[in-house]
Structure 1
Amino acid sequence: MKKVAFYTLGCKLNFSETSTISRLFQERGYQKVAFEDTPDIYVINTCSVTDNADKKCRKVVKEALKHSPEAFITIVGCYAQLKPQEIAEIPGVHAVLGAAEKFRLVDMLDGFVKPKKAQVYASAISEANTFHTAYSFGDRTRTFLKVQDGCDYSCTFCTIPLARGKSRSNSIAEVIKAAEEIAQTEVKEVVLTGVNLGDFGIQAGLGRQENFYELVQELDKIAGINRFRISSIEPNLLTDDIIRFVASSQKFMPHFHIPLQSGSNKILKLMRRRYLREVYASRVQTIKSLMPHCCIGVDVIVGFPGETEEDFLETYNFLNELEVSYLHVFPYSERDNTRAISLPGAVPQKERNLRADMLRILSEKKKRLFYEQNVNTQATVLFEADIQNGLMEGFTENYVRVVAKYDPLLVNETKHVRLTRLNEKGLMEVEEAFLEVLQH
């Protein structure tokens, strides 16, 4: 029995796909093992969002060879689709599979005999035109369920359409089937993932058949799953109907992650985003009017070509005044085959980093304020299995990270708690006496 290990770089969608590929191996008699457990085969699932995809890929390959010098190393994922020949030149890599091939790798490489030269199986991205159901399982307390793939948008900074192809989705019936499979396990929370999640409903070769609002309504009816989260959704696709439904649902958590990218309309237009800042502010206002306790996360890019100091301050002030909970901040990085790379007004890297640091400091302030607003309230926490220094952590419905004294009875359980104070690490503590009453 050959042993296989996996490593995932990037997003929740990648995690769902890695987990599904691992199950394909196990169904064929391979044994899944830890990265450091001298496997015969490594499968590394790559990302292309950050500018150091090459560096990260090389480092993971190097570490793999330290643990198992004779292992067969396969690279899949977005970076593999964009730069297959470049990856094939990395010492130790034996096979590179693109977007249309990655779910067939067990068949394509069965036997995993090392070639004299790295094999590249990467079709044109137009060949990635089918939807593959995927969800993570056994790796975390929650499951990432892929319901959509690809993107039809043309943001000037983004390579994802080149790496994943056109927008396509599972049918609602197939999503329900996968969710019901998950419901038969011990999983308590399902996170819906996709490249452009709000664009759910386009089926390959059939066009738009359904929509995301219809999907969440059907998922809400499934027995056996306590929680659903919406991972990331474009502001122009986050409709009032969806917001109102989440506000009324007992299963969909009051937590949205909504990419903004810039608070300057000038920059949003240069990015070819499909909304202006006024739309974004309206979405936040609607959410908070219906769910004052709702957590709202934001993606922001700083240092985009043409972004002046005035443009950046417009973004900073917009976010400072907006009632959001945390920021994911990315300094702009050049990408081959994107329109942005040829735009004038490049911002020096040092300035990009300074602007990113300013927004990260703002994010910490926003997050702390949001956490403080939850002190002395009651919440439901899903406790996780990661135990460190006698402590365990979990998340409330509205995504406040909670820490508590380890109790084996709490692992993968949802419990009502009273939130008491923030500790020195910025995590929320719970009232121990209250927790002990629940347990004993």
Structure 2
Amino acid sequence: MDMNGKSVAFHTLGCKLNFAETSTIARDFVDKGFAKVEFEQAADVYVINTCSVTQNADKECKSIVNRAMRQNPDAFVVIVGCYAQLQPEEIAAIDGVDLVLGATEKFKVTDYLNDLTKSDHGEVHSCEIDEANSFIGSYSIGERTRAFLKVQDGCDYKCTYCTIPRARGISRSDTLENVVSNAAEIAAQDIKEIVLTGVNIGDYGKGEFGNKRHEHTFLELVRELDKVEGIDRLRISSIEPNLLKDETIDFVSKSSRFVPHFHIPLQSGSDDMLKRMKRRYLSNLYVDRVTKIKEVMPHACIGVDVIVGFPGETDDHFMETYRFLQELPISYLHVFTYSERPNTEAWDMDGVVPKDIRKKRNKMLRVLSAKKRRAFYEDQMNTVRRVLFEGENKEGWIHGFTENYVKVKTHWDPALVNSVAEVKLTSIDDDGLVRFEPVGIEA
């Protein structure tokens, strides 16, 4: 079927990795002659990339399919991503869905589009997750300032709350040559920042097809990317504490490209809970990681993932986590309320925490996060930092981030878009964002 002149729109739920993969799928559509349009426009094909981590994944999926159908009731709707791998039949039964593709099939969407006629029930092409053992490189360029570069996929960990290994398969990585080549492609497009993404990026280096031997280490990856010309900033996204080694922290502290910003999942400050979750470290290792970072980069920003309301979490366990976080020199929290996931170990655990208590604990930690961020920003006052400005005019303001992830604002000026400026941080506004005095525009 000739696809020239046909239009396609995309919607992505979930993580940065999903955004990177959607961009790669979109480039394939464009190469095949499709015109890419916004999701709120009428399109011939809608591709929705789903997530299994968010609560109410099914409800969210239905609502987005309905949005597509309102734009064009005759459109061909394709669902891909983690939720599509985990619950393909459930999704295929959603009114309006025509095609559901699993973990390995999603990168070949256009191969399945021989006929765009709608049917009464979605067609499913979904592999057994054990077959998801090859790596498809991806990167997203959604805006001019930064790109998300996928370096790793899948996970070999068996955390008791997590569906990701069943949705994405075993841990596997891109080759070092491919990652460096993709980074160079991104650099050639005047994009100032690359964010490294994956499911478990610290485990980088495992080859395809279940090869457990590491071809390269995460440190080797970081060293090679540091040499790519034309990239102003490289940022490591979420990395497991047990895989963030001293050598990597030391390298980042001396690098002019890798920024002093780490996002390190904790999940709980209670060792009892960490054991129940089958995490691969205890709280003392987490303290070591934070201490090491602050030792060599006192100005570093450290973000933390934490789960509240996990089965068996008593008030004492929660307060242990609260105090643990209160005392650590971290900068902000991403707080997740535990929600039951079928086919996980935690699904059958006793000690279920009532929903209202989960909600209360979530709120307490979000308040703590706001205090931590404020304290971190206050520590940065009167320091000189480099800001990379975003591309959006937000009610007359332009925003940007310092290398250590302080969010700043100034009056909208199109000349600042995608530029790097040296600034002195001066005050915190009512909305919690930081104002500054310019020191000099660099690029």
TM-score range, shorter chain: over 0.9
Aligned to 1:272: 278
Give the letter aligned to residue 319 of structure 2. L
Q: How does 1:383-402 map to 2 (within 5 A)?
A: 383-402=389-408
Shift of 1:209: 1.0
**Corresponding residue for residue 186 of structure 1:** 190
Shift of 1:415: 0.9
2:396 & 2:324 partners in 1: Cα distance? 41
Give 1:438 shift: 4.1
Provide the residue aligned with 2:123 in structure 1. 119
Give the alignment's TM-score, normalised by structure 2: 0.97
Aligned residue identity for 2:384: Q
1:13 to 14, 17, 20: 17
Deviates more, 1:49-58 or 1:290-299: 49-58
| Alignment correspondent of 1:144 | 148
The 2-side partners of 1:249 and 1:240 are apart by: 14
Structure 2 match to 1:24: 28
- SS of 1:152's equivalent in the other structure is coil
Q: How far apart, in 1, do the equivalents of 2:167 and 2:144 lie?
A: 26
Shift of residue 162, structure 1, vs aligned partner: 0.1
Q: How many equivalent residue pairs?
A: 437
Shift of 1:439: 8.9
Give SS of 1:260's match: strand
Q: Deviations over 1:12-38 (max 9, x none)?
A: 000000011000000000000011111
8 Å CA contact 1:72–1:112 kept in 2: the answer is yes
Superposition RMSD in Å:
1.3
C-alpha separation between the residues in 2 aligned to 1:117 and 1:170? Answer: 36
Q: How does 1:324-403 map to 2 (within 5 A)?
A: 324-403=330-409
Q: Within 2, Cα distance between the matches of 1:82 and 1:285?
A: 39
Closer, same or farther in 2 for the Cα pair 1:111/1:186, shift >3 Å?
farther
Structure 2 CA distance for aligned equivalents of residues 322 and 215 of structure 1: 29
Q: Secondary structure at the match of 1:202?
A: coil
Q: Does the 8 A contact of 2:234 with 2:259 survive in 1?
A: yes
CA contact (8 A) 1:409 1:439 kept: no
Q: Does 1:224 align with 2:233?
A: no
For 2:216, the equivalent position in structure 1 comes to: 210
Q: Please, which of 146, 157, 171 is the counterpart of residue 161 of structure 2?
A: 157
For the residues of structure 2 that align with 1:260 and 1:200, how far apart are their CA atoms?
A: 20
Q: In 2, distance between residues paired with 1:410 and 1:158?
A: 41
Partner of 1:86: 90
Alpha-carbon distance in 2 for matches of 1:210, 1:158? 26
Q: Which runs of 5+ in 1 are unaligned?
A: none
> Which residue of 2 is the match for residue 422 of structure 1?
428
SS at match of 1:54: helix
Q: Which residue identity is paired with 2:208?
A: A
**Aligned pair 1:107/2:111, yes or no?**
yes
1:244 matches 2:235: no
CA contact (8 A) 2:421 2:442 kept: no
- Cα distance in 1, alignment partners of residues 261 and 116 from structure 2: 43
Percent of paired sites with the same residue? 57
What is the TM-score of this pair, normalised by structure 1? 0.97
> Cα offset for 1:113?
2.8
> Which letter maps to 1:411?
V
The C-alpha deviation readout for 1:173-197, integer Å capped at 9, x for no partner, is: 1111111111111110000000000
Contact 1:38-1:67 at 8 Å conserved across structures: yes
Taking the aligned partners of 1:160 and 1:286, their CA distance within structure 2 comes to 29
Q: Which residue number corresponds to residue 63 of structure 1?
A: 67
Equivalent position to 1:281, from 267, 287, 290: 287
Contact kept in structure 2, 1:51 and 1:335, CA below 8 Å: no
* Residue 96 of structure 1: aligned partner: 100
Contact 1:392 1:406 in 2 (8 A): yes
CA–CA separation in structure 2 for the residues paired with 1:277 and 1:110 = 53
One-letter amino acid of the counterpart of residue 317, structure 1: R
1:69 is displaced (CA, Å) by 1.9
Tell me how far apart the structure 2 counterparts of residues 225 and 352 of structure 1 sit (CA, whole Å): 42
* Structure 2 unmatched runs, 5+: none
